[in-house]
Amino acid sequence: MSLTGPRTRTGRGGLVADEAWRYNIQMPMSQERPQMRGTTVLCVRKDNKVVLVADGQVTMGDHVMKHTARKTRRLFNDKVIAGFAGSTADAISLFERFEGKLQEFSGNLQKSAVELAKDWRKDRALRHLEALLIVADGKATFILSGNGDVIEPDDGLVAIGSGGMYALAAARALLKHSKLTAKDLALEAMSIASEICIFTNENFTVEEL
């Protein structure tokens, strides 16, 4: 496990997914509004390619609000891809902040991720934002959380959201036992997750570098 940033953790390879899952289910939600659930975002790095896939379902309470939500974005002149789990409005704010960091540090993904995580943890306004981010460029992939964590996976595979565990498990099995391209592997793993997680659909958006 490779970790970067103001906080450090140690553990086995599965910790990235465990951490992301724990953050996702424990995000504080207001008691005055129904909990919005439903996201699976998977990032696969293989053969010098990186692919980010997200589903399109947004669920509020016990019903589906939207089937075609877009939970991914290309940043810094399409050199960085990012996906989110959590509140859409909060994620948009974080994307804007993160792109500002990329501009400030000339596209240095690691430095930008660390500085955003610092701000996210310390800033009085940002600390209330409810989201998890996956960000990636041609060289590295990171999960960012509001706890100040910047986590880099060991095997190039990482997932967040309600179906993240299923997508990550499927991706690891396919990586070991198939010759699929990065894109095909990611789509197949997401398809498997959508068959298991009721908060995940098959309206996928795909970003590739």
Tell me the per-residue pLDDT of 81-105, one tens digit each, with 9 for 90 and over.
999 987 777 888 888 889 999 999 9
Domain count, the chain: 1
Q: What is the mean pLDDT of the chain?
A: 82
Q: Are the C-beta atoms of 110 and 4 separated by less than 8 Å?
A: yes
> pLDDT (tens digit, 9 = 90+) per residue, 138-180?
999 999 887 778 999 999 999 999 899 999 999 999 999 999 9
Task: Please list the residues that pair with 81 across neighbouring strands.
Answer: 74, 136
Which range, 2-6, 35-39, 96-100, has the best average confidence (pLDDT)?
A: 96-100
Q: 69 is written with which tokens?
A: 């939500």
Is the confidence at residue 16, as pLDDT, over 60? no
Q: Are the C-beta atoms of 181 and 187 separated by less than 8 Å?
A: no
Average pLDDT over residues 6-28: 45
Strands 58-60 and 80-86 turn out to be unpaired
More confident: 157 or 12: 157
Is the confidence at residue 131, as pLDDT, over 80? no
Q: Are the C-beta atoms of 168 and 190 separated by less than 8 Å?
A: no
Is the confidence at residue 68, as pLDDT, over 70? yes
- Look at residue 109 in the predicted model and tell me its pLDDT: 96
- Is residue 88 part of the annotated active site? The answer reads no
State the catalytic residue, choosing from 8, 10, 39, 40. Answer: 39
Q: Are the C-beta atoms of 189 and 38 separated by less than 8 Å?
A: no
- Residues 86-98, buried b or exposed e (16+ Cβ, 10 A)? bbbebbeebbebb
> pLDDT (tens digit, 9 = 90+) per residue, 97-130?
899 999 999 999 999 999 998 888 887 767 667 7
More confident: 44 or 145: 44
| Residue entry with tokens 């068959």 | 195
d(CA 3, CA 72) in angstroms, rounded, equals 23
- Look at residue 52 in the predicted model and tell me its pLDDT: 98
Is the confidence at residue 69, as pLDDT, over 70? yes
Residue 168 belongs to what domain range? 2-26+35-208
Q: Residue 136 sits in a domain of what CATH number?
A: 3.60.20.10
Q: Could you give the 3-state DSSP secondary structure of residue 152?
A: strand
Is the confidence at residue 2, as pLDDT, over 60? no
Is the confidence at residue 23, as pLDDT, over 50? no
Q: Are the C-beta atoms of 144 and 117 separated by less than 8 Å?
A: yes
- Look at residue 33 in the predicted model and tell me its pLDDT: 42
What is the pLDDT confidence band of residue 15, given thresholds at 50, 70 and 90? very low
- Look at residue 89 in the predicted model and tell me its pLDDT: 78
